[in-house]
């Protein structure tokens, strides 16, 4: 296989390419953090004196979970391991004898469908796995439920080939079908079923269109072929993975923003996310490889996306989750730290519960918010930048470099589990410190 540079992997002719670049995420979030630090925010203040204690918590939990510090990536594939069950091995056994590329396509199919179904399920929902008897909640339950549906052929439209996701099958999905997949009912309610179903239908439509243009199979696995040029490339960048996901899937988001008349997804307008962010990021607030690229990109690109802050939480979660399927297929993934921390309930909740992000009025935490609310945009932006700062402290405590302990491993080790842990200590139901009204397609 030939090789291309990480820089070439992020080049895109998409009109929203600037908002697809993770460097822009860091830059715009840094601009918001600077404004909060200046004291103009009515919503938040920052207390960095609490960061060391949060780092200590993350380190202690990381060592408890991975005492040898062989930490895997933060990935949907960890949820397929819930309860100590190696479900990947079960899938691998059924895929044995197929080509490496075909196996990779199946893994892409599973990953994409499972990540898109991985939004907050609500505190009362559980999933019981028939094969093991395990009763699972939240992300683990969603992961195992989607895995079992995939293994049963629920998303396949190809005879005698259940382990795939076909566009035609996706376009038949409705809330009733998902209610069955997730065992949801009046006594086991799941939030956001209609939103998830709409997302899968739109995914099927987008894949159908993409297959018509490219001649590839109408399935999520076509992104493997695009990223590797049908298996001829031996290296892709993490930012390139995100760029491909956003380019291929941008039409699917039923919620989110429109920018320049195009669906932008998890991108939101904020008064402090403006053109000056390149200079701000150039002052050194970014993380590793992403920082320098961010400063350069913000200065050189056009001004048509000024005032918009991208997060792409589900798309970055999908990117992280596709790194291992690429590696298992023999593809080297470069620039891991270009992607950002995920600004969602657990990572962002850790920083609120740990006292780093401080609401100016605690009554604000009692409200139910919407993703487009300034309060939520600021909290998420602060989370992105402070996770980078937290990563520096965690690495120092573990005596690891950024290359030895990339951000994805810190998230896994890590910050996400620590957010869940501290939430369980502080609230009987383990709920995050704030509430967001979600249709199941962002959080």
Q: How far apart are CA 158 and CA 174, in angstroms?
A: 19
Q: Does the residue 441 lie in any domain?
A: no
Average pLDDT, the chain: 88
Q: How far apart are CA 56 and CA 38, in angstroms?
A: 27
Query: What confidence score (pLDDT) does residue 123 get?
Result: 81
Q: Does the residue 14 lie in any domain?
A: yes
Looking up tokens 């190809």 gives 158
- Residue 431's alpha-carbon distances to 38, 65, 87, 324, 361, in angstroms, are 31, 22, 28, 30, 19
Q: Does the residue 152 lie in any domain?
A: yes
Q: Tell me: the pLDDT tens digits for 311-320?
A: 999 899 999 9
Q: Does the residue 442 lie in any domain?
A: no
Q: Tell me: the pLDDT tens digits for 392-419?
A: 999 999 999 999 999 999 999 999 999 9
Q: How far apart are CA 439 and CA 190, in angstroms?
A: 11
Nearest to 439 by CA among 253, 252, 194, 266: 194
| Number of domains observed in the structure of the chain | 1
Q: Pseudo-torsion of CA 248, 252, 253, 259, nearest 10°?
A: 60
User: HSE of 147 in the Cβ direction (CA atoms, 13 Å)?
Assistant: 27
Query: What confidence score (pLDDT) does residue 439 get?
Result: 63
Please, which residues have CB within 8 angstroms of residue 43's CB and are 6 or more apart in sequence? 36, 359, 360, 364, 374, 375, 378, 379
Query: What confidence score (pLDDT) does residue 440 get?
Result: 60
Whether the pLDDT of residue 286 is over 70: the answer is: no
Query: What confidence score (pLDDT) does residue 13 get?
Result: 64
Q: How far apart are CA 244 and CA 221, in angstroms?
A: 12
Percent of the chain with pLDDT over 70: 89
Whether the pLDDT of residue 124 is over 80: the answer is: yes
Dig out the tokens for 198 from the structure.
């709409």
Q: Does the residue 135 lie in any domain?
A: yes
Q: Does the residue 77 lie in any domain?
A: yes
Q: Residue 309's pLDDT band (boundaries 50, 70, 90)?
A: very high
Q: Does the residue 1 lie in any domain?
A: no
Q: Does the residue 432 lie in any domain?
A: yes
Nearest to 173 by CA among 143, 189, 193: 193
Which pTM was predicted? 0.89
Please, which residues have CB within 8 angstroms of residue 91's CB and are 6 or more apart in sequence? 106, 107, 110, 147, 151, 163
- Residue 235: beta bridge partners? 332
Q: Tell me: the pLDDT tens digits for 354-394?
A: 999 999 999 999 999 999 999 999 999 999 999 999 999 99
Query: What confidence score (pLDDT) does residue 17 get?
Result: 87
Rg (CA), the chain: 21
Residue-range definition of the domain harbouring residue 278: 6-436
Q: Tell me: the pLDDT tens digits for 256-278?
A: 788 888 888 899 999 998 754 33
Query: What confidence score (pLDDT) does residue 248 get?
Result: 87
Whether the pLDDT of residue 293 is over 80: the answer is: no
Tell me what the mean pLDDT of segment 30-50 comes to: 96
Q: Crossing angle of helices 238-249/22-37, nearest 10°?
A: 100
Q: Residue 34's pLDDT band (boundaries 50, 70, 90)?
A: very high
Whether the pLDDT of residue 284 is over 60: the answer is: no
Nearest to 216 by CA among 331, 105, 54: 105
Please, which residues have CB within 8 angstroms of residue 135's CB and are 6 or more apart in sequence? 126, 127, 128, 129
Length of the chain: 443
Query: What confidence score (pLDDT) does residue 301 get?
Result: 46
Whether the pLDDT of residue 5 is over 60: the answer is: no
């Amino acid at each position: 296989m030939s090789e291309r540079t990480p820089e070439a992997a992020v080049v895109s002719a998409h009109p929203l390419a600037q908002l697809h670049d993770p460097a822009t995420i860091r830059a715009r979030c840094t601009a918001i953090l600077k404004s909060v630090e200046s004291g103009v925010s009515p919503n938040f203040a920052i207390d960095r004196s609490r960061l060391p204690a949060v780092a200590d918590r993350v380190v202690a939990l990381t060592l408890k979970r991975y005492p040898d510090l062989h930490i895997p990536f933060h990935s949907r594939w960890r949820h397929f391991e819930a309860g100590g069950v190696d479900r990947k091995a079960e899938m691998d056994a059924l895929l044995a004898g197929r080509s490496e590329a075909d196996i990779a396509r199946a893994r892409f199919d599973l990953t994409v469908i499972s990540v898109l179904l991985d939004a907050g399920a609500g505190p009362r929902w559980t999933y019981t796995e028939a094969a093991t008897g395990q009763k699972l909640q939240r992300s683990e339950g969603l992961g195992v439920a989607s895995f079992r549906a995939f293994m049963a052929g629920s998303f396949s439209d190809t005879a005698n080939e259940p382990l795939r996701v076909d566009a035609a099958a996706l376009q038949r999905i409705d809330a009733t079908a998902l209610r069955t997949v997730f065992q949801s009912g009046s006594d086991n309610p799941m939030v956001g079923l209609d939103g998830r179903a709409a997302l899968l239908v739109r995914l099927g439509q987008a894949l159908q269109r993409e297959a018509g243009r490219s001649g590839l199979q109408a399935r999520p696995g076509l992104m493997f072929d695009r990223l590797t040029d049908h298996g001829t490339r031996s290296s892709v960048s993490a930012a390139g993975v995100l760029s491909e996901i956003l380019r291929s899937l941008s039409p699917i988001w039923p919620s989110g923003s429109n920018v320049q008349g195009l669906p932008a997804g998890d991108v939101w307008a904020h008064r402090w996310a403006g053109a000056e962010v390149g200079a701000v990021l150039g002052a050194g607030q970014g993380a590793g490889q992403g920082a320098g690229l961010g400063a350069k990109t913000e200065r050189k690109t056009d001004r048509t996306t000024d005032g918009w802050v991208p997060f792409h939480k589900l798309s970055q979660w999908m990117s992280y989750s596709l790194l291992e399927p690429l590696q298992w297929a023999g593809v080297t993934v470069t620039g891991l730290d270009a992607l950002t921390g995920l600004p969602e309930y657990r990572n962002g909740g850790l920083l609120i519960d740990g006292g780093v992000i401080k609401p100016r009025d605690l009554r604000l935490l009692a409200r139910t918010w919407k993703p487009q609310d300034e309060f939520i945009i600021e909290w998420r932006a602060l989370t992105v930048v402070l996770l980078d700062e937290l990563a520096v402290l965690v690495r120092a405590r573990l005596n690891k470099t950024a290359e030895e302990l990339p951000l994805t491993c810190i998230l896994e080790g890590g910050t996400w589990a620590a957010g869940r842990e501290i939430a369980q200590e502080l609230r009987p139901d383990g709920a995050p410190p704030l509430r967001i009204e979600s249709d199941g397609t962002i959080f």
